[in-house]
Amino acid sequence: MVNVNKLKAKMVELGTNVDELSEKIGMDRATFYRRLSADGQTFLIKEADAISKELGMTREEVNEIFLVSLSHDMRKGGHMNEVLKINYETEQPTVSARELHEALGVASRFSRWFDSNKELFVEGEDYNKCTSSTVVNNGARRELEDYSMSVLMAKHICLMSRTEKGKRCRDYLIDLEKAWNTPEQIMARALKMANHSIESLKGRCKFLGEQVVEQQQIITELQPKANYVDMILQSKSLVTITQIAKDYGMSGRKLNKILKELKIQYKVGGQWVLYSKYQNGGYVHSRTIDITRTDGRADVTMQTEWTQKGRLFLYEELKKHGYVPVIEQAA
Q: Specify which residues 142 forms β-bridges with.
A: 134
Q: Specify which residues 127 forms β-bridges with.
A: 123, 149
CA–CA distance, 77 with 135 (Å, rounded to integer):
31
Residue 12 has pLDDT above 50, yes or no: yes
List pLDDT tens digits, range 270-313.
Answer: 889 999 999 888 898 887 777 787 888 877 778 888 888 888 89
Return the higher-pLDDT residue of 169 and 45.
169
Query: Structural domains in the chain?
Result: 1-66+185-219 (1.10.260), 69-181 (no CATH), 235-329 (no CATH)
3-state secondary structure the chain: CCCHHHHHHHHHHCCCCHHHHHHHCCCCHHHHHHHHHCCCCCCCHHHHHHHHHHCCCCHHHHHHHHCCCHHHHHHHHCCCCCCCCEECCCCCCEEEHHHHHHHCCCCCCHHHHHHHHHHHCCECCCEEEEEEEEECCCCCEEEEEEEEEEHHHHHHHHHHHCCHHHHHHHHHHHHHHHHHCCHHHHHHHHHHHHHHHHHHHHHHHHHHHHHHHHHHHHHHHHHHHHHHHHHHHHCCCCECHHHHHHHCCCCHHHHHHHHHHCCCEEEECCEEEECHHHHCCCCEEEEEEEEECCCCCEEEEEEEEECHHHHHHHHHHHHHCCCCCHHHHCC
Q: Say if residues 148 and 87 touch (Cβ distance below 8 Å).
A: yes
What is the average pLDDT score of the chain? 79
Mean per-residue pLDDT for 156-182? 82
Return the higher-pLDDT residue of 181 and 72.
181
CA–CA distance, 307 with 236 (Å, rounded to integer):
8
CA–CA distance, 241 with 251 (Å, rounded to integer):
9
pLDDT tier for residue 75 given thresholds of 50, 70 and 90: very low
Return the higher-pLDDT residue of 139 and 281.
281
Collect all residues with Cβ–Cβ distance below 8 Å to 106 and sequence separation of at least 6.
113, 161
Mean per-residue pLDDT for 321-326? 89
Residue 199 has pLDDT above 80, yes or no: no
Return the higher-pLDDT residue of 121 and 80.
121
* Neighbour count for residue 119 (Cβ, 10 Å): 6
Residue 73 has pLDDT above 50, yes or no: no
Mean per-residue pLDDT for 96-122? 89
User: Cα–Cα distances in Å, from 213 out to 2, 112, 209, 217, 264?
Assistant: 42, 59, 6, 6, 39
Q: What is the pLDDT of residue 143?
A: 84
Residue 74 has pLDDT above 70, yes or no: no
Name the least confident of 103-112, 161-170, 226-235, 270-279: 226-235
Mean per-residue pLDDT for 42-56? 79
pLDDT tier for residue 187 given thresholds of 50, 70 and 90: low
Return the higher-pLDDT residue of 144 and 63.
144
Q: Specify which residues 59 forms β-bridges with.
A: none
Task: Count CA atoms closer than 13 A to 186's CA, side-chain side.
Answer: 9
Q: What is the pLDDT of residue 265?
A: 94
Between CA 171 and CA 207, with CA 189 as vertex, the angle to 5 degrees is 145
What is the share, in percent, of the chain residues with pLDDT greater than 70? 77
Query: Pairing mode, if any, of strands 86-87 and 94-96?
Result: antiparallel
CA–CA distance, 143 with 128 (Å, rounded to integer):
16
